[in-house]
Amino acid sequence: MSSGITDTARGTAVVTGAARGLGQHFAVALAEAGHDVAILDLDDASATRELIETTGRRCLTVCGDASDPQDVHSFVAAVRNGLPPTRVLVNNAGISPYASFVDTDFALWQRVSRVNLDSMYLMTHGLVEDICANGHGRIVNLTSSVVWDAQARNMTAYTMTKSAIVGFTRALAGELGTQGVTVNCIAPGIVLTPDIEDRVAESQLEIYRNRQAIPHITAPEDLISTLLYLVDERTRMVTGTTLPVNAGRVIV
């Protein structure tokens, strides 16, 4: 009898924003765990596809906007036509522009909301019936530890969307529980992705280190075990929850 994430016939895992960074690590880990993988990203995800194909799993990559209804519709059709049924959805796509609230004009507010929230709605709504179809499915949404952090600066729009994701997750978990589908959040702290390396100064990273119980910046690899725990078929009684992975970030 197969059990847990080691099963080699696990269906398809869909990951948004997996061309690089945390999404890429998630996609490869899911392939190593036995899933075929489908990726929707604005950027070319061929590097991720090559990594996945070395595991022996299939990978579909589509360049498109997860916050655009037509792009999502076309992507979902391609997944249904080209890969096994979807059993896992990881809503990873998102942006985190730094701007004070005073400098956050309505266009930026809408852009952050569109990328971080509309994409989650569109992807989940497009695939929810597929995920529910066999009485077992997993949805994992990426929020952030910033939702608990009153010291965060220049992140009001981002924090608003990440707080909304927690509420969305809880509400959807309540709807889908009777169908054997769990819906959970992962809430990273600062994660040293290529994007963060490009945008965040070492002095700011040192501030984060000093506010953590473990004085090291989280790497993408540090979140993989949490993802695999949440998508494991044995984790059937964990739903509607948010798991912080933030090195014991101290919130005062």
Confidence of residue 249 (pLDDT cuts 50, 70, 90): confident
In the chain, where are the structural domains located? 9-188+225-243
Report how far residue 221's alpha carbon sits from residue 136's, in angstroms, rounded to the nearest whole number: 26
- Give the model confidence (pLDDT) of 61-85 as tens digits: 999 999 999 999 999 999 999 999 9
Give the β-pairing of 181-188 and 242-245: parallel
98 part of the active site? no
pLDDT band of 193, cuts 50, 70, 90: confident
d(CA 238, CA 195): 31
Q: Which range has the worst mean pLDDT, 8-12, 141-145, 196-200, 231-235?
A: 8-12
Read off the amino acid at residue 53.
E
Tell me, rounded to whole angstroms, the distance of Cα 178 from its chain centroid: 23
Burial class (CB in 10 A: 0-12, 13-18, 19+), 61: buried
Fold of 9-188+225-243: Rossmann fold (3.40.50)
- Cβ count near 44 (within 10 Å): 12
Active-site hit among 98, 158, 208, 229 = 158
| pTM of the predicted structure, to 2 decimals | 0.92
Residue type, 111: R
pLDDT, residue 125, reads: 98
Which positions ≥6 away from 163 have C-beta within 8 Å? 143, 147
- Say how far apart CA 196 and CA 251 lie, in whole Å: 21
Average pLDDT along the chain: 92
pLDDT digits (tens, 9 = 90+) for 92-135: 999 999 999 999 999 999 999 999 999 999 999 999 999 999 88
**Is the predicted pLDDT of residue 2 greater than 90, yes or no?**
no
